[in-house]
Amino acid sequence: MDLFTAFFDREVIDVLVNYTNTYASQHNKNNTVSDDEFLCFIGVLILSGYMPVNRRRMCWENSADTKNTLVCEAISRDRFQYIMSNLHCNDNTLLNVNDKFSKMRPLFDALNERFRIFAPEQEDHSVDEAMVPYSGRHGCKKFIRGKPIRWGYKVWAGTTRLGYILWFDPYQGSSATLCDKYKDMGLGASVVLQYDDVLTKSGYRPYHIYFDNFFTSFSLLVALQERGIKGTGTIRENRIPSDPLENSKTMKKRIRGSMCYKVGNGKVLLCKWRDNSVTAVATNSLPITPLNKVKRYSRSEHKHIYVDQPHVIKKHNENMEGVDRSDQNIGLHRIAIRGKKWYFPLFCHAIDMAIQNAWQLHRLNNGKLDQLSCRRSIATNILETYKKTARRGPSKPPNNEHQFSRYDRLDHLVEYQNKQTRCRVCHKNSFFRCKKCEVALHPKDCFVFYHTP
């Protein structure tokens, strides 16, 4: 709970509440939202990640199979709907027309700053792309073949080796993503150098950034080397200025475990290794040796064999999966409530990232909770701590109450109760009730009417 509120602290909540009330007042709605109500709204969203319902209104139904007492006591259904319909993270009159995610920019900037401040100091970092699921219409929605989430918003992310997210930025086209000072480097290099600026601002040194072939180029590795930063990534052959090594088609004919390497411009090492296919890796810091043994299955020999693997490829495989690990953690208990506004999935993703980072810090501090238990404790603490003080009045019973058992004509007996309660049929006070259904009924007419289909 404390780790999560370090990211969504009172300052962030005040900003979100202020923009939400501003949007509501612009549409002639004067029912202001308080900080406690907004925190309860976030608590319900978190709870939906591990206790989803097909319709969000079902949490407030007075029905035994779906009613959630924790949610009902924290915030009313209409209040939750009011906050969701007016949710805003920026003032619509002050939006930046050149930023397609200007509506969410204050929240993104605040979280990026807090993620950086509380980040653990580790040497190995990775940069990759993540996907936020979204099936509606928006100019920035992308399709990536082969990803677990194929349709949605693409987000650049920089993480530690275990998946703690230090920095993220949604992709909105190369023209909007590139910084002016990095335009000559290209899109992939621009993303890596922006993340390097974040790490430099935090004072983390030395550190090593890993990336895949979308980002890697010789010019990027040279630029990182000039900054004193280690960098390693797989590289595409068409990005090698003049390939000094054996052609990949020729290397495919060699035995598994074969390799060739050479130091190129700016002391950048290029290595090709024959595995199931040919892998090319470029680095400005890692060596080839010591060679490692990896287990592979040989179809020709019908058994497992051990082949040589360069040290640079081993380190890349060990440290490149930070973004994928964070995506896996977020996907396990992603917020299930859906909205109609295009930015609502990004708002929910920001909450999921904060929970995932809070759990990462919990584990680094020798915590024993798994991610589900951590998420449950956050949701429960929020809903119990900031719930409304006024008690909810008597609610109308549902029309489908005991719709099956009350008509079976088995063991429905009239019994006396010491305290009068309202009859389910005529709503007048009654000293009698049905023993099986446990509802107040007058024994003369109401009892028969209630049990007759």
Residues 191-230: tens digit of each pLDDT: 999 999 899 887 767 899 999 989 998 889 989 998 889 9
Q: What is the Cα–Cα distance from 147 to 331, expressed in whole angstroms?
A: 13
Nearest one of 212, 281, 288 to 248, comparing CA atoms: 281
Q: What confidence score (pLDDT) does residue 255 get?
A: 84
* Model confidence at 291: pLDDT above 60: yes
At a CB cut-off of 8 Å and minimum separation 6, what does 265 contact?
218, 222, 241
Q: What's the whole-model pTM score?
A: 0.85
Mean pLDDT across 83-92: 94
CB 372 within 8 A of CB 50: yes
Q: What confidence score (pLDDT) does residue 331 get?
A: 93
Nearest one of 337, 341, 367, 364 to 351, comparing CA atoms: 337
Q: How many CB atoms lie within 10 A of CB 285?
A: 18
* Model confidence at 91: pLDDT above 80: yes
Nearest one of 278, 284, 281 to 249, comparing CA atoms: 278
Q: What is the Cα–Cα distance from 56 to 45, expressed in whole angstroms?
A: 10
* Model confidence at 38: pLDDT above 80: yes
Quickly state the pLDDT bin for 79 (edges 50, 70, 90).
very high
Cα maximum dimension of the chain: 98
Kind plus residue range of the DSSP H or E element containing 368: none
Q: What is the Cα–Cα distance from 216 to 231, expressed in whole angstroms?
A: 9
* Model confidence at 347: pLDDT above 60: yes
* Model confidence at 42: pLDDT above 60: yes
Residue 380, classed as helix, strand or coil, is: helix
- Give me the chain's average pLDDT, please: 88
Tokens coding 199:
């790490």
* Model confidence at 121: pLDDT above 60: yes
Share of the chain above pLDDT 90, in %: 47
* Model confidence at 419: pLDDT above 70: yes
Share of the chain above pLDDT 70, in %: 95
Amino acid at position 32, single letter: T
Q: What confidence score (pLDDT) does residue 400 get?
A: 65
* Cα–Cα distances in angstroms (integers) from residue 16 to residues 6, 34, 91, 103, 313, in the given order: 15, 10, 10, 11, 45
Amino acid at position 5, single letter: T
Q: What is the Cα–Cα distance from 305 to 158, expressed in whole angstroms?
A: 36
Q: What confidence score (pLDDT) does residue 393 get?
A: 53
- Parse the chain into domains and list their residue ranges: 2-93+334-385, 405-450
SS3 content of the chain, % helix, strand, coil (to 5): 40, 20, 40
* Model confidence at 37: pLDDT above 60: yes
State residue 166 phi and psi, 5-degree precision: -90, -30
Amino acid at position 65, single letter: D
Quickly state the pLDDT bin for 372 (edges 50, 70, 90).
very high
Residue 278, classed as helix, strand or coil, is: strand
Amino acid at position 311, single letter: H
Q: What is the Cα–Cα distance from 38 to 311, expressed in whole angstroms?
A: 50
Q: What confidence score (pLDDT) does residue 103 get?
A: 93
Q: What confidence score (pLDDT) does residue 268 get?
A: 86
pLDDT digits (tens, 9 = 90+) for 128-164: 999 999 999 988 999 888 888 899 999 999 999 999 9
Q: How many CB atoms lie within 10 A of CB 292?
A: 14
Q: What is the Cα–Cα distance from 321 to 159, expressed in whole angstroms?
A: 9
Q: What confidence score (pLDDT) does residue 12 get?
A: 93
